[in-house]
Structure 1
Amino acid sequence: MSETPKPSVSYNDSLKMVHNPDGSVTRLTLFPITSASPNPDQYTTHTSPFLSKDITINTQKNIWVRVFLPRQALENNATTSKLPLIVYFHGGGFITCSANTSVFHDLCAGMATDLSAVVVSLEYRLAPEYRLPAAYDDAEEALHWIKSTDEPWVMKYADTSCCFLMGSSAGGNMAYFAGVRVAGAVEEFKPLRIKGLIMHHPFFGGMKRSGSEVRSENDTILSLSATDLMWELALPEGADRDHEYSNPMVEKGAEQCEKIGRLGWKVLVTGCEGDLLLDRQKEWVEMAKKKGVAI
């Protein structure tokens, strides 16, 4: 398909944001948020099968994590072995949302409860105030924190040798690029050991339009012009959507994928019909298979 020029769109109309003269944005959409609930006595076991608490890992950057722990781990700590660890990255096109956004809080709480896992959800820096690779840097810092922290909920209950990186949308993109960084320096992250990646509707892009992008160009939930603007705000200054952060199918991005293939990690990619990103996700899967990744 032919390349389509970058559209001229309004920050406010497309993303409900006001573009400020200093390059920052004022986010007008206020997503529902949920507070952490770290006190075991705050709720009954019946109404709250999990606990959660927020822990700052870098005060200067305002990076923190929300840790989710199944209540059962506390009640049976003498007999229960350590639990698998899921490190989760929230969605929002790299420019919105938070680890405390209710939809992502609820997802992580459900995983902790239903899968009997410790879930660590990262609050990372957002673009355009902090363009990529800032979010990837924050993910890497969080993984270093996990491997060495004395935080009891991680140290006592999480099996860091059985860790999965997971993310939704932009977070799915982050799970991949965080994985690429770990794959290139496995010894540096020990005893943390990644077993696989879970990429939930990962956010990828490119200059040449895909079929699903054309079919869903005017999607009422997230239009194509809005995704273009997200990439414009998130990518390094001067980069277009064929930068490897957006389009990991380009030559440099494909070379990075080989690192994951050599380690034998399992990778799960989910998508759905009607999502304008679907064909990008399929393209990534086909590329990854060719690079030896276990899909």
Structure 2
Amino acid sequence: MMSIRESIVVFTLLLSLSVFLIVANSSMDPYKALNIILNPDGTLTRVKIPPQNPPSSDPNLPVLSKDIPINRSKHTWSRIFLPHTQLHHKLPLIVFYHGGGFILYSASSTYFHDFCINLANSTKSIIVSVEYRLAPEHRLPAAYDDSVEALQWIKDSKDSWLTNHADYSRTYLMGESAGGNIAYNVALRAAAEIDQIKPLKIKGLILIQPFFGGKKRTGSELRLAEDGTLPLPVTDLMWNLSLPVGADRDHEYSNEAVNGERCKVLGQGWRVGVFGCDGDPLVDRQIQLLNLLKANHVNVTGQFYPGGRHGIFIGDPSMSAQVFHFLNNLLS
């Protein structure tokens, strides 16, 4: 008769084996699922570009938007969102990093453009959405470097929307999925080099279903190995295409636990929010990050919801509202 502990061990081993067999024998082609082709020179052909939105200067809309170059040689730029009906005082500044597994999407993608409009309008904040370079053409840490450079650009910018209306003393970093990973790594750099980004004073960090990984599968990855939104072959491919050549998923860019003390720098007055849901294969990694932050005395709040899927906080207005509610409390 096996003990409860022995039964759990056996169950976990069988579950791991079954998932290994599912993934190993899966006929799913992650390249086809993502509509990408890997070229012989290591670049990607992105077969199906998601819908894009141009910026809008229509004064009848509550939020205006415009694009401004950051680094022309790298083709990086920002899309700024201004809630122009709320300009009787300076507004908080939120720097946003879009998701897409480091290999897809843009600040102009309709998915993220619409979210940023609603974010600006709901929180009465100026949003700077950063267009960073994508992998595998530009592997990590290129996206981190571009995103830190965006902070330098903001602080030096002469753009009137920023200089006249942004309260640099209330700056927040935010990212979704891979953008959450980027926001986190930008936060670590910014907290360690705080004098280099003055007058920006970063007060908080909002991580929406941040994209982290690791060689050892978590329970949620095993449970949702064939998830319809983010199955294991897709996440593995995203990491293979974005990490430095030769690195595996236990690199610190992917698995924060391998160098967990890095986050101690966020214990100096930062307020951090981590959002997740049970239906996301990455939820266990997000909970691990939450616990890591708590263990390092970071002022962090976790908000996790039943059901759902990866990307739900961007795609579902009712779940976006949960993020906006948290932010309004943070900004008040």
Fold match (TM-score > 0.5): yes
8 Å CA contact 1:14–1:225 kept in 2: the answer is: no
Question: Given the two structures, how large is their TM-score scaled by the length of structure 1?
Answer: 0.92
Q: CA deviation at 1:15?
A: 2.1
User: Quick one: which amino acid aligns to residue 262 of structure 2?
Assistant: Q
- 1:230-282 per-residue CA deviation (whole Å, 9 max, x = no partner) reads 000000000000000001111x2x12101111x12000000011100000000
Q: 2:228 aligns with which of 220, 225, 228?
A: 220
1:182 corresponds in structure 2 to: 190
2:321 corresponds in structure 1 to: none
8 Å CA contact 1:95–1:234 kept in 2: the answer is: yes
1:237 correspondence with 2:245: yes
1:31 corresponds in structure 2 to: 50
User: Quick one: which amino acid aligns to residue 68 of structure 2?
Assistant: I
2:164 corresponds in structure 1 to: 156
8 Å CA contact 1:11–1:19 kept in 2: the answer is: no
1:289 corresponds in structure 2 to: 294
Distance between the aligned counterparts of 1:13 and 1:27, measured in 2? 10
1:171 corresponds in structure 2 to: 179
1:276 correspondence with 2:281: yes
Q: CA deviation at 1:289?
A: 0.3
Distance between the aligned counterparts of 1:203 and 1:146, measured in 2? 25
1:57 correspondence with 2:70: yes
After the TM superposition, which residues 1-295 of structure 1 pair with which residues of structure 2 at under 5 Å, given as runs?
Answer: 10-37=29-56, 39=57, 42-44=58-60, 48-73=61-86, 77=87, 80-250=88-258, 252=259, 254-261=260-267, 263-295=268-300
User: Quick one: which amino acid aligns to residue 196 of structure 1?
Assistant: G
Q: Which structure is higher in helix share?
A: 2
- 1:104-129 per-residue CA deviation (whole Å, 9 max, x = no partner) reads 00111111111110000000000000
8 Å CA contact 2:133–2:146 kept in 1: the answer is: yes
- 1:202-248 per-residue CA deviation (whole Å, 9 max, x = no partner) reads 00000000000001100111211100000000000000000000011
User: Quick one: which amino acid aligns to residue 17 of structure 1?
Assistant: I
Flag the structure with more relative contact order, 1 or 2, with Cα contacts below 8 A and sequence separation at least 6.
1
- 1:123-156 per-residue CA deviation (whole Å, 9 max, x = no partner) reads 0000000000000000110000111111011111
User: Quick one: which amino acid aligns to residue 127 of structure 2?
Assistant: V
- Corresponding residue SS for 1:88: strand
8 Å CA contact 2:30–2:233 kept in 1: the answer is: no
Distance between the aligned counterparts of 1:54 and 1:231, measured in 2? 29
Distance between the aligned counterparts of 2:134 and 2:288, measured in 1? 27
Distance between the aligned counterparts of 2:48 and 2:293, measured in 1? 36
Q: CA deviation at 1:14?
A: 3.6
8 Å CA contact 1:235–1:245 kept in 2: the answer is: yes
- Corresponding residue SS for 1:72: coil
Question: Given the two structures, how large is their TM-score scaled by the length of structure 2?
Answer: 0.82
Q: CA deviation at 1:11?
A: 4.8
Q: CA deviation at 1:55?
A: 0.2
Distance between the aligned counterparts of 1:120 and 1:268, measured in 2? 19
- Corresponding residue SS for 1:284: helix
What is the number of residues matched between the two proteins? Answer: 281
8 Å CA contact 1:58–1:64 kept in 2: the answer is: yes
8 Å CA contact 2:220–2:280 kept in 1: the answer is: yes
Distance between the aligned counterparts of 2:63 and 2:35, measured in 1? 34
Q: CA deviation at 1:81?
A: 1.6
User: Quick one: which amino acid aligns to residue 275 of structure 2?
Assistant: T
Q: CA deviation at 1:188?
A: 0.9
Distance between the aligned counterparts of 1:225 and 1:244, measured in 2? 20
Q: CA deviation at 1:201?
A: 0.5
* Root mean square deviation, CA, Å: 1.7
- Corresponding residue SS for 2:277: coil
Distance between the aligned counterparts of 2:118 and 2:234, measured in 1? 30
- Corresponding residue SS for 2:70: strand
